[in-house]
Structure 1
Amino acid sequence: MTITSTNGLSGCVLALGALCTSGTSTAVADDGPPLHQVVYTVTTDHPVGVGIYYRDMDPPTWADYSHDPYRYSPRDDIQLEPGAPWVHQAVLADPDRWAMVTVTAVGPPTGAAITLRCKMTVDGVDVDHGEGPRGALCSMRNW
């Protein structure tokens, strides 16, 4: 590239501008909706076996979800212990519609009074929490 100028400074500015723009490109197409960091946390005050369902991805449509909800809501079966929370991070485009975690005690009730708790944050902000003796649900919408 040859830049001719009677003023050396303007030629330098033009050359610098050409160099800065020649190697960069700007995405013009829309890359879709912004994604949100969703964190699900489940805790207990006594050891207990639990089943945890959580929304891990946005279904493309409500029909897709209703025809196969478990495709979008995996289940973890674990032994939950006090002081050792179950934590899962998901990335969702529409957490107002799809973010959800539910925990349910499995097996017959024990003699101990158990409290299961869930908490959900979106982009670092607490958005819901729940608790109960045999289960809990955290969601931004009513199911």
Structure 2
Amino acid sequence: MAECAVVGVAITASVASSASADNDPPQHRVVYTVTADQPVAAGIYYRDVDPSTWADYSHNPYEFSPRDDVRLGPDTPWVHEAMLADPAQWAMVTVTTAGQPSPAGQTLRCQMSVDGVEVARAQGARGALCSLRHW
């Protein structure tokens, strides 16, 4: 009898996890790439996870938008991959010189792809924002 109970629990757990997986939205591979023409210290904010609700995001956007402080250069891009359920709503990367002076002629660039297709590209002397959504 104990064997039947264990098998019953295992089947119930298996069905519950399959049902949960079936209800989860498909994930999309988002790749952020940030580059610079010249060596420069930069701050990069990016969206790494889908917030569960807009209220959660607006209450604390930095919880969902980590920051990396990096040194960029012509041969040192920053590349990050994230899996998002709704990239049209949440995918975003921004780069800035974070208050530091930009070298003359400097251009910062960002590029974003979703499932292998480039969907956004931007550039600027002091910063750039790549997103599908207008923030």
TM class by smaller structure: 0.7 to 0.9
Distance in 2, matches of 1:108 and 1:35, equals 36
**Structure 1 partner of 2:93:** 101
* 1:41–1:120 Cα contact (<8 Å) kept: yes
**Structure 2 partner of 1:21:** none
Distance in 1, matches of 2:84 and 2:49, equals 6
Q: Higher helix fraction: Structure 1 or Structure 2?
A: 2
1:52 is paired with a residue of what secondary structure? strand
2:68 is paired with a residue of what secondary structure? strand
**Structure 1 partner of 2:108:** 116
Structure 1 unaligned regions, length at least 5? 1-24
User: What CA deviation, in whole Å up to 9, does each residue of 1:70-92 have, x standing for no partner?
Assistant: 01000000111112110000000
Distance in 2, matches of 1:123 and 1:133, equals 29
How many residues are aligned here? 119
Distance in 2, matches of 1:111 and 1:41, equals 21
Larger radius of gyration: 1
* 1:57–1:90 Cα contact (<8 Å) kept: yes
Distance in 2, matches of 1:118 and 1:90, equals 15
**Structure 2 partner of 1:56:** 48
Distance in 2, matches of 1:92 and 1:68, equals 18
* 1:49–1:107 Cα contact (<8 Å) kept: no
Structure 2 unaligned regions, length at least 5? 1-13
